[in-house]
Amino acid sequence: MRLFIGIPLPDPISSHLNTLRGSLPSIHWNNPDTYHLTLSFIGEVKNYDFLNELELSLEKINTPRFDMTISEVGHFTSPTYESIFWASISPSNSLIQLKKKIDHTLHQLDISQKKQRFIPHITLAKGVGLNEEQISNWIYKYNLFKTEPFTVCEFSLFSSYPTKDEPHYIIESSYLLR
């Protein structure tokens, strides 16, 4: 199973994000039930003893609850030339501290992490074959998007299973912020 650690979004926030669906051709919009903020990607895991050790280690992370706001939309192109549309997370020191604690825990378990800049975002849609004008028009239309602040009360260990249409995510365990 493929694992990652993330923050599930409250239903009202996912519903608000769902209003960003545009009329872009060749785009597959993610199901709002799958919206999440990825904090750390672990990858393929086949050892269930390791899974138990990981869950116990994540349980020890002590971080207070914090508020988070989703604002702005954007786009980037993946290495496979696929267009990725996203909504960004407003800067948050608390979010960065949680990410650092999770990464430290993974490092202690010898889980290697890619050295890349953390750009917190929610992936909304993916697709191919769009021109710059279509992309720019969508960004212009939604560039003032912003959610109300919401309290992050937990983070979760997710498993991911590929399906024909889009990945299927299961929350394996959740960890309350105190």
Q: Which active-site residues does the annotation give?
A: 36, 121
For the CA atoms of 89, 95, 100, 102, the dihedral, rounded to the nearest 10 degrees, stands at -100
Give the tokens for residue 56: 């116990």
Q: Which one-letter DSSP state was computed for residue 165?
A: S
Tokens of 171: 């929350």
Residue 83 CA, distance from chain mean position: 16
Residue 14: φ, ψ to 5°: -60, -40
